[in-house]
Amino acid sequence: MNTSAPTQAPKRKLTTSAMIASIAEEGQRTSKAPFGHALARLADERPDVVGLSADLAKYTDMHVFREAHPDRFFQMGMAEQVMLGAAAGLAEVGLTPFASTYSVFATRRAYDFLCLDIAEPQLNVNVVGALPGLTTGYGPSHQATEDLAILRGMPGLTIVDPADSVDIEQAVPALAAHPGPTYMRLLRGAVPTVLDEYDYTFRLGRAAELRGGRDVLFISTGLMTVRALTAAQELAHDHVDVAVLHVPTIKPFDRETVLRETAQGRLVVTLENHSVVGGLAESVASCLAFAQQTARIVPIGLPDEFLAAGALPTLHDRYGLSVAAIKERVRREL
């Protein structure tokens, strides 16, 4: 049971500050630090679970685990390569590490250590990357817009992009139980709580239909699933019937479900908080191409460019990730 009950998000006015802690919409229910609480609960049951941070415990919600299990937390400093190497060593002796940092540092800076120290020997190390895609306004140095593209080619690596607090809380024990290496994109702070309204259960490697619809099929991942659900509800007022297929696991990809759902003649719209290069859109397109199946696919994602700095609501509108931008794109395509 979640020890931090969902709360109503306070009304938020637009701001020009670069960093906004929560991606929750106005009035949306949220849960505080779901990753940190889920990991602390898991560690209560499993003495092998340990946590590591590269000087970012507070900003990856690892501080919750640190406070609950201080003797099983390792502060590695601003040294992501050292952190992943240490995590590999801990896994070698039978422990189950969760190593957290920003996505840009885990993927760009420490790729070789993740690849050769962790993935090649197939160790159960769980890398948790905060600020994925466009979840910070601090510009290209912090915006991990290409982390999925970087990691999809790594053999044996499981990649998860949760939608909300429900997804995160259920994914943590599933990743710990998975025998090989994993990478999870982290939503931190006040995280939306949405999927509990859709009879949803996280299943590693499986997509889930959250909503049926005759006209359009949204295939979404990460925080864009929450936007997809809102956009689908609002498009219904315009007599546009939209289905939503949530894909929380990017790798291994649930080809069977995607092929079944895209074979029904609907407009297919992919939605991802990631570059349109190398992420969900290309996974769906290649899935169909290799199966010799056709569908009209419209990708909604970040452009193939370094993004601007600024306030997140403004940037999400500018780059087409907001609910209003999604609805307008669907209307144009129809």
pLDDT band at 24 (very low <50, low <70, confident <90, very high): confident
Cβ atoms within 10 Å, residue 165? 29
The arithmetic mean of pLDDT across residues 273-285, rounded, is 98
- For the chain, the 3-state helix, strand and coil shares in percent, each to the nearest 5, are 35, 20, 40
pTM, two decimal places? 0.93
Tens of pLDDT along 192-244? 999 999 999 999 999 999 999 999 999 999 999 999 999 999 999 999 999 99
* DSSP per residue, 43-97: HHH-TTEEEEESS-TTTTTHHHHHHH-GGGEEE--S-HHHHHHHHHHHHHTT-EE
Query: Is the per-residue pLDDT at 294 higher than 70?
Result: yes
Q: Which of 138, 178, 180, 152 is nearest to 279 (CA)?
A: 152
pLDDT band at 18 (very low <50, low <70, confident <90, very high): very low
The arithmetic mean of pLDDT across residues 48-57, rounded, is 97
What lies within 8 Å, CB to CB, of 36 at 6+ separation is 61, 62, 63, 64, 65
The arithmetic mean of pLDDT across residues 33-50, rounded, is 98
Query: Is the per-residue pLDDT at 21 higher than 50?
Result: no
pLDDT of residue 17: 47
pLDDT of residue 14: 46
Q: What is the mean pLDDT of the chain?
A: 94
Assigned token pair, 176:
């710990």
The arithmetic mean of pLDDT across residues 148-170, rounded, is 98
Query: Is the per-residue pLDDT at 278 higher than 80?
Result: yes
pLDDT band at 123 (very low <50, low <70, confident <90, very high): very high
pLDDT of residue 27: 87
Query: Is the per-residue pLDDT at 83 higher than 70?
Result: yes
pLDDT of residue 90: 98
Tens of pLDDT along 84-96? 999 999 999 999 9
Tens of pLDDT along 221-235? 999 999 999 999 999
Q: Tell which wins on pLDDT, 121 or 11.
A: 121
Cβ atoms within 10 Å, residue 174? 17
pLDDT of residue 9: 52
The arithmetic mean of pLDDT across residues 262-284, rounded, is 98
Query: Is the per-residue pLDDT at 10 higher than 70?
Result: no
Percent of the chain scoring above 70 in pLDDT: 93
Cβ atoms within 10 Å, residue 213? 18
* DSSP per residue, 170-215: HHHHHHHHSSS-EEEEE--SEEE--GGGGT----TT--EEEE--SS
Coil/strand/helix, residue 104 = helix
